[in-house]
Every structure is written in C-alpha cells, then in structure tokens.
Chains A and B, each alone.
Chain A
Amino acid sequence: MTAIPMRTPLARVWSRVWAGRSRYLVGAMCLAICAIMVTPITLSMLASVKSTAEAAAVPPTYVPGGLSLDSYARLWSYQAGLPTYLGNSLGTALLTIGFTLALTIPAGYALARFPIPGKELLFVFLLLALIIPYQALLTPIFLMFAQLKLTNTLVGLAIVHTAIQLPFSLYIMRNSFEAVPRELEEAALTDGGNSWQILVSIFIPAIVPAIVTVALFAFVTSWNEFLGALVLMSKGSTFTLPLILAAARAETSLGGTDWGMLQAGITISMIPCIGIYLLLQKYYVSGFTSGAVK
C-alpha cells in the first residue's frame, strides 16, 4: 500500500469532489435516494384516499383533491369482503409462525446440546429446502395436498410457508442455542431439572431475540407470499390479500381496473410490514445479515 500508482483523471476528479464538497454531495445524494425510494409508496397511499371519480380520472392527479375513504369502502365489500381476505392472510401468517417455532425451537435445542449420532448429516438434511427451490416442488405438493384435502385450507398454505422458512429459522435457532453459556444449563442440571424444564426455564428466556427474529421473518414471508397461495388456493373465499388484489385487477380490467380500490388494498398490505420493520429494525437487520449470508 506504500507505492500509489498514477491516478486516472476520472479518479482524480472524483477524489477532489469527495475531498471538497463531499459533505453536501453526500447529503444531496442521500435525500435524492430517499425520495426515489419513498415516492412510489407515498403515491400509492395518496391514491388510496382519492374519491371514486378522482381515482378513475384520466390523466391521473398526483395528489388527491380531498380525503375520501370510498376506495376502502369498495374494498371492504369486494366479493367475500376484506375481513375474509385479511383473516386468511393473518391466519396463515400466525399458523406459519406457530409451526416454524414449534419445529425449530426443539430442533435447534437438539442440534446445539445433544450428542446426536450423525448430527451434521441430519442438519444438512433439514436444510434440504435450501437447495431445492419450493417453486419447483409446488407440483407434487399440490398433488399431495389435493389427496390430503389440504388445498384451499389455511393449514395447507401455512405448511408450505413453514417449509420455505424452515432452513433460515433452524439456522438462527441452532446458533442462538449454541451461544447460551453452558454454565447456566449446568447449574439447572445439578438442581435436578430435566431437559424439558431446562429448555423452558433456561433456554427460552435466553433466546428471545432469536424467537422474535424467526417469528418476524415467518410473518413477513407468509403475509407476502404469492405463488404458493396462487397454486393452493383456488376458491375465492380462501384467497389471501395479495391473491385477491391480483384477481381484482384481472377481474375489473374489462371495465377498466379499479385502481383506487387496488391502492387501498396495497396500502393495507404494506402497512403491517413497514410498521413491523420500523418497530423491530434491529431484529430485521440482524436476521438478514446472519441468515442470508451463511
């Protein structure tokens, strides 16, 4: 690093810019980037409160002329009604969280703390979904669920969402169980506690951050997932929120898509994700950095 080669003219210009006005430049760039990222979401939310007439106006207005909840009212009573679709999305997401935690907490405990024969091989097997994309497995899963009468059920869809989330969640769980100091557990062991009592009283309180991370990602994956729901849910009344919105766009497109209603639906779908993200940013980012890059 001692001999610095000749800089190219471009690099020289850049470094001067960086050295001189870099502070203002960085500020301006940050603000411009924030504007680009936030604009589409803001426009959609604004469009959702346009009146029926304004939502259908050509050319469209940038900002609504007044506040109206017409679009939300239409969405509320669209086909089976918004409560049904929200209930389906929420139910599937909660089931996914439940399944994922019920499977990965004991499994993470076992992998981190028990002398299991062929442990690493078993771990690789449990991560099988990492190398087989679930998109490719939907054909046989659909067939199996059709035979088990699990198509058009929230449990069936939650099983698929759990399968998607399992490798990531297991990975997080195993790591956090391994990070719990052995002394904690040994003290409880000498007190005569069995492995279940130790799991409940020592480990679970110690791995709360991992539980939050796993639950958070399970929720967001399930809430947003589209293809699996499209394949498994053929009855309109079992549609999740993204499905009914996509269907509503196709359905109304003959007489002109009801974009106002769709923006209301998009807003409702985005709000929990963004809200959870802003509240639990720490867990979110740590989950991404520890889970996505293994």
Chain B
Amino acid sequence: MYASRRRKLTGLLYLAPAFVFVLAFTAYPLVQMGWLSLNNWTLITPPRFVGLDNFTRAFADEQFWVSLGYTLKYTLFITPILMVGGYLLALLVSPNSPLRRATRAIIFIPVVIGLGVSSLLWAWLFDPMFGLINRALLDLGLIDKPIIWLGTDTDLSTWAIIASVSWKVIGFGMILFVAAIQAIPSEINEATMVDGAGFWQRTRRVTLPLTRRTILLVTLVSVIGSLLAFDQFYIMTAGQPFNETATAVFFVYLNSFPYLKLGYGAALSLILAAIILLFTIVQLALTRRSQA
C-alpha cells in the first residue's frame, strides 16, 4: 500500500515538469487570450475592458472577411493537389525497387527544409527580372515579356504560391501514403491479381478503401496546415495586392504585432482557434466513423 502510494508520487514527480510547462506556456496563454480579447490594449495605455466589442468589430471588419475567405479559397485549391498528387506519387513509388526508393527519398527532401527559406527561394525563381522561371518561359517562347507573378495579381500570386508550397510539402502526404499502402497485406493484392484486376481497378477497389484512414488523417493535417498558412504569404506577396493575399494568420499577426492592437489580435486569434477546432472535430469524427 505504502509502496504504491509512493510510486504514485514518484510518477507525478516525473510528470511535473512537462505539466508545469504546458500549464505555463499553453494553458495560461489560452486563458490570457480569452481575457485579452475582452480588452483594448496597445501596451502603452493600460488595458480597458470593452466586453465583446472586439468580436463585433471583427465581424464588421471587411479585411477580416477578405482574409478568412482568401484562406479558405487557398485551402480549397491546394488540398486536392496535395492529396491527389501525394497519393499518385505514393502509388508510383511504394513498391520497393532501388529507383523508387531513391525517388521517394528525393521527393521528401523539400519537406525537411524551412517553409520560410523555400518561400525565399521561390520568390527568387518567380522574380520578374532575376528569376529563372521567366527566363525559361521566355527562352521557350511561351511568353513575350516577363510575368510579374507575385504581389500584383491575386490569382497569379495564389497559383505561384500553390506551386511552390506543393513542391515543398507534397512529400509529406506521399511518405504517409506509402507507409499505408505498404501496410496492406500482400495476400490481398495477390488475390486481386489472380482475379485479373488491372492496376487502376486494384487501386480503386482495394488500395484506396484500405488506406482510407490515412487519407482522412493526412487531409486533416494538411487542411489545418493550409488554414494556418503564413510564411509563404509574408515572404512571397506580403499580403499584396491590397491585402487580398493576407491570410487569416497574417491578419492576426498584422493586428497583434506591427499595430499592437493586442486585444483585437487576441479576439481574432480566438476566432481562428475556434475555426481550427471545428475542423479538427469534424475530421476526427469522420475518421472515427471510417475506423468502425
């Protein structure tokens, strides 16, 4: 009895540092964010309680809706590319041959470099004067004069960023899909081959259904990642033109930091966190159901 109580205490002692850390640097800021969102505070003047004003102000703020709408649009465009593209790549490289193994490893390389750094790299490639994309398109005779990809036209900017981010993160989904495809028992594949099913038929009737759980989970991670997009927009377009490519996190960042509207920033952060939570719950529910 004594020994087990002592073990309980010892266990709690080992757990304590992590517990205190999460309490101080995740839970407390969360509570603080709730309190901040009900106040107006710019650090210079003392905080002033304003009730739900920051929230009503957000819903009446045109840029709030522009940012939210743009973030959803970006997510809606890039997610199918990452999922379908990642899955097709996984189908191509999941059998273990030296070439496919090497291809797998190479597709994954951009995943390990930083998004900020890769965005700078692509900003250079897309540059109208110094960029090699315009140079190559001109050399191939596909365009007559350089295209200004980033920061002047919303759609061009969006697609340029989607291209660069797809290059950067497509390997993430691929590597998880490969793991899922390789986990399919080989007897199942052999049975369908004996049945004379072709590759695509096998993919549709066996591979896809058996990897559905992974597909849902990767979609969840990917959608949430896109909803929280910041680095690529901060670096490649700085939200231009006219803040039309300022994503939700970008909008929060602008209000909280350069403008130091901490209360408003906190209210926007809370709304953002609530939206992300909603997506997490919906998709987790979907995953649960597919598991049963």
- Say if the beta carbon of A78 comes within 8 Å of chain B: no
Residues on B with beta carbons closer than 8 Å to the beta carbon of A113 = 11
Q: In the complex, which of the residues B22, B103, B214, B252 has the most CB atoms of chain A within 10 Å of its own CB atom?
A: B22
CB contact under 8 A between A30 and B116, given known A37-B106, A135-B230, A257-B130:
no
State which residues 74-109 of B face A: CB under 8 Å.
89, 92-93, 99-100, 102-103, 105-109
- Say if the beta carbon of B17 comes within 8 Å of chain A: yes
Residues on B with beta carbons closer than 8 Å to the beta carbon of A74 = none
**Is there an interface contact between B273 and A266, defined as CB atoms closer than 8 Å?**
no
- Say if the beta carbon of A163 comes within 8 Å of chain B: yes
- Say if the beta carbon of B19 comes within 8 Å of chain A: yes
CB contact under 8 A between A110 and B176, given known A133-B272, A162-B21, A166-B21:
no
CB contact under 8 A between A140 and B36, given known A245-B117, A246-B235:
yes
Residues on B with beta carbons closer than 8 Å to the beta carbon of A246 = 116, 120, 234-235
**Is there an interface contact between B130 and A58, defined as CB atoms closer than 8 Å?**
yes
State the total of A-B contacts with C-beta under 8 angstroms: 301
- Say if the beta carbon of B69 comes within 8 Å of chain A: no
Closest-by-CB residue of B relative to A220 is B112
CB contact under 8 A between A15 and B100, given known A126-B18, A137-B29:
no
Give the complex CA separation of A141 and B270 in angstroms.
14
State which residues 265-287 of A face B: CB under 8 Å.
266, 269-270, 273-274, 276-278, 281, 284-285
- Say if the beta carbon of B127 comes within 8 Å of chain A: yes
**Is there an interface contact between A266 and B121, defined as CB atoms closer than 8 Å?**
yes
- Say if the beta carbon of A36 comes within 8 Å of chain B: yes
- Say if the beta carbon of B175 comes within 8 Å of chain A: yes
**Is there an interface contact between A136 and B276, defined as CB atoms closer than 8 Å?**
yes
Residues on A with beta carbons closer than 8 Å to the beta carbon of B110 = 37, 40-41
**Is there an interface contact between B36 and A262, defined as CB atoms closer than 8 Å?**
no
- Say if the beta carbon of A85 comes within 8 Å of chain B: no
- Say if the beta carbon of B179 comes within 8 Å of chain A: yes
Stretch at the interface among A65-73, A114-122, A180-188: A114-122
Residues on B with beta carbons closer than 8 Å to the beta carbon of A163 = 21-22, 25-26
Residues on B with beta carbons closer than 8 Å to the beta carbon of A107 = 14-15, 17-19
**Is there an interface contact between B124 and A128, defined as CB atoms closer than 8 Å?**
no
- Say if the beta carbon of A144 comes within 8 Å of chain B: yes
Select one of B125, B135, B192, B197 contacting A59, CB under 8 A: B135
CB distance from A126 to the nearest CB of B (A): 5
Give the complex CA separation of A58 and B130 in angstroms.
6
**Is there an interface contact between A1 and B205, defined as CB atoms closer than 8 Å?**
yes
- Say if the beta carbon of A44 comes within 8 Å of chain B: yes
CB distance from B123 to the nearest CB of A (A): 7
**Is there an interface contact between B115 and A226, defined as CB atoms closer than 8 Å?**
yes
Residues on A with beta carbons closer than 8 Å to the beta carbon of B45 = none
State which residues 245-274 of B face A: CB under 8 Å.
249, 252-253, 256-257, 262, 265-266, 269-270, 272-273
**Is there an interface contact between A142 and B257, defined as CB atoms closer than 8 Å?**
yes
CB distance from A134 to the nearest CB of B (A): 8
**Is there an interface contact between B15 and A30, defined as CB atoms closer than 8 Å?**
no
**Is there an interface contact between B8 and A116, defined as CB atoms closer than 8 Å?**
yes
Give the complex CA separation of A211 and B109 in angstroms.
22
- Say if the beta carbon of A289 comes within 8 Å of chain B: yes
**Is there an interface contact between B224 and A133, defined as CB atoms closer than 8 Å?**
yes
Residues on A with beta carbons closer than 8 Å to the beta carbon of B140 = none
**Is there an interface contact between B124 and A47, defined as CB atoms closer than 8 Å?**
yes
**Is there an interface contact between B112 and A274, defined as CB atoms closer than 8 Å?**
yes
Give the complex CA separation of A231 and B29 in angstroms.
15
Closest-by-CB residue of A relative to B164 is A40
Residues on B with beta carbons closer than 8 Å to the beta carbon of A140 = 28-30, 32-33, 36, 266
**Is there an interface contact between B117 and A270, defined as CB atoms closer than 8 Å?**
yes
- Say if the beta carbon of A254 comes within 8 Å of chain B: no
Give the complex CA separation of A203 and B40 in angstroms.
51
- Say if the beta carbon of B185 comes within 8 Å of chain A: no
CB distance from B201 to the nearest CB of A (A): 7
CB contact under 8 A between A293 and B218, given known A136-B33, A166-B22:
yes
Residues on A with beta carbons closer than 8 Å to the beta carbon of B142 = none
**Is there an interface contact between A110 and B99, defined as CB atoms closer than 8 Å?**
no
Closest-by-CB residue of A relative to B31 is A140
Closest-by-CB residue of B relative to A231 is B257
Closest 6 CB pairs of A and B: A114-B11, A224-B114, A15-B198, A110-B14, A226-B116, A107-B18
Chain A residues packing against B (C-beta within 8 Å): 1-2, 4, 7, 11-12, 14-15, 18-19, 26-27, 29-30, 33-34, 36-38, 40-41, 43-44, 47, 56, 58-60, 62, 102-104, 106-107, 109-111, 113-117, 122, 125-126, 128-129, 131-133, 135-144, 146, 159-160, 162-163, 166, 170, 195, 220, 223-227, 230-231, 241-242, 245-246, 249, 257, 259, 262-263, 266, 269-270, 273-274, 276-278, 281, 284-285, 288-289, 292-294
User: What are 12 A-to-B residue pairs whose CB atoms are below 8 Å?
Assistant: A4-B196, A18-B198, A110-B11, A110-B12, A128-B27, A139-B33, A163-B25, A195-B7, A226-B115, A231-B253, A231-B257, A269-B114
Name 14 extra pairs, CB < 8 A, besides A19-B198, A115-B4. Answer: A15-B198, A34-B102, A40-B121, A40-B125, A41-B110, A58-B130, A59-B129, A135-B252, A136-B276, A140-B33, A224-B114, A246-B234, A266-B117, A276-B112
